[in-house]
Amino acid sequence: MDRVIFHCDLNSFYASVELLDHPELKDKPVAVCGDPESRHGIILAKNEPAKQYKVQTAETIWQARRKCPDLVLLPAHHWKYREYSKKVNAIYERYTDLVEPFSIDESWLDVTGTLHLFGGDGKALADEIRRVIRQELGLTVSVGVSFNKVFAKMGSDYKKPDATTVITRENFQQLLWPLPVTDLLFVGRAAARILGGYGVRTIGDLAAFDRDSLGEILGKGGYTLHDYATGREHAPVIAARDMPGPKSVGNGLTFPRNLMGWEELRTALSELADEVAARLRKHGLKCTTVQITVRDPAFKDICRQKRLAAPTYVSRDLTDSAMELLRSCWNERQPVRALTITAQNLVEEGDAGEQVDLFAADAIPRRDKLEKLEKAMDSIRDKYGRGAISLASAVHPEGEREDQRLPPTD
């Protein structure tokens, strides 16, 4: 028997949560950003009216303002998003214990074993869940219903906001195959470019492509993509409590405009590092290796790693190492399209002390201080929101700004 999988995706999540406190702004173009005072701050989310002006996530405030001078900017409150994310997942768990969060605003639900308790109809249950979330939390969600995770996710993207789309064995070719291949999960622009060279533009083209040839062209990922396109994907929904701890923690961003110059690059890296460090602290893990991946406008990636003198989960350490790596492999005048920073070789916080490099002993007092400071900032931000405190002003008045975490896609 086929499984019944839901993929639930909250619509314009950050912006929707902020607008709960500003109902008067509902019909105005609104964007959420880390620091509304900084013109280099980055747009994290926007509401529907702002989308009409083509305001984009990850562009800078000044770029967005050029397109939409009346754009209302609201500061991000990450503690609120975490709280709402928990509440939403708690609602999902009323319907099944198999709830797998994919990101702060997206989760998969496997309701195969429980659907009969709620009437037996997948679409009706998805509509009911949407209604309950709207009524209890004031948020809207798009739901995809299908027989596997990938098609369920595509269903939630198919129509938004506030909609249910059912992808069946009967209709998936008609609904999904005309879509561009980039709409398929994990088909990045690089893979799309390679596929384009073989005349593969739509998901249907991909499905019609010979599976073994695809494997030769793209490696193991080629087989996976072919399985995705043809509905032969069988990955289980894994409840959050059964998830293994992370092996690495990474965060990346493709910029709508190329970045150039050490200052801009450092700002971007510190934003990425901030989120990585916060996630490491949340898991009680420190990293001993930092890796950066830099992509140029021609989609050429350069990847560099560095072993650290001592394990860390301090944002500033990650930024410094990433910046050092960047300077070693990049020219300041070379434009950057995308950046990723990944913390690797993770060790438990408590075990980390034994691995400290003796030669780096001098650095320990400074690191202790920074650890305490950043942890304190976690709790202040959790309480008062992100704008409440910034590392730049607290530690290095002349140094880099610490800014927003990265947003969910809508």
Q: How many residues does the chain have?
A: 410
- Whichever of 93 and 162 has its CB closer to Mg ion, that residue is 162
> Residue 346 Cβ, how far from Mg ion at the closest point, in Å?
28
19 or 310: CB nearest Mg ion: 19
Pick the binder of Mg ion from 7, 9, 35, 287 (CB under 5 A).
9
How far is the C-alpha of 191 from the C-alpha of 320, rounded, in Å? 31
DSSP one-letter code for 261: S
Size of the site for Mg ion (CB under 5 A): 4
Residue 105 vs 317, nearer CB to Mg ion: 105
Active site residues: 106
Q: Where would I find the beta strands (DSSP E) of 272-312?
A: 285-295, 301-312
d(CA 387, CA 307): 32
**Cα 362 from Cα 185, distance rounded (Å):** 46
Please check whether residue 221 is in contact with residue 185, taking contact to mean a CB–CB distance below 8 angstroms: no
Which range binds Mg ion by CB under 5 A, 4-12, 43-51, 90-98, 338-346? 4-12
Q: Which of 402, 404, 405 is nearest to 270 (CA)?
A: 402
Tell me whether residue 374 or residue 410 sits nearer to Mg ion (CB atom): 410
Return the range that interacts with Mg ion (CB under 5 A); candidates 3-11, 18-26, 33-41, 94-102.
3-11
Query: Which of these, 222, 323, 341, lies nearest to 273 by C-alpha position?
Result: 341
Q: Which of 105, 274, 320, 400 binds Mg ion (CB under 5 A)?
A: 105
Least distance (Å) between residue 106 CB and Mg ion: 6
Of the pair 9, 371, the CB lying nearest Mg ion is at 9
The distance of closest approach from Cβ of residue 105 to Mg ion in the complex, given in angstroms and rounded to an integer, is 4
Residue 85 as a binder of Mg ion (CB under 5 A): the answer is: no
Reduce the DSSP state of residue 31 to 3 states and report it.
strand
Two structure tokens written together for 148? 């596997």
How many C-beta atoms lie closer than 10 Å to residue 344's C-beta? Answer: 15
Contact map string, positions 329 to 368, toward Mg ion, x by CB under 5 A: ----------------------------------------
In angstroms, the CA 115 to CA 308 distance is: 50
Peptide linkage before 161 cis (omega within 30 of 0): yes
Q: Is 271 in the site for Mg ion (CB under 5 A)?
A: no
> From the CB of 282, what's the least distance to Mg ion, in Å?
21
Which residues lie near Mg ion (CB under 5 A)? 9-10, 105, 410
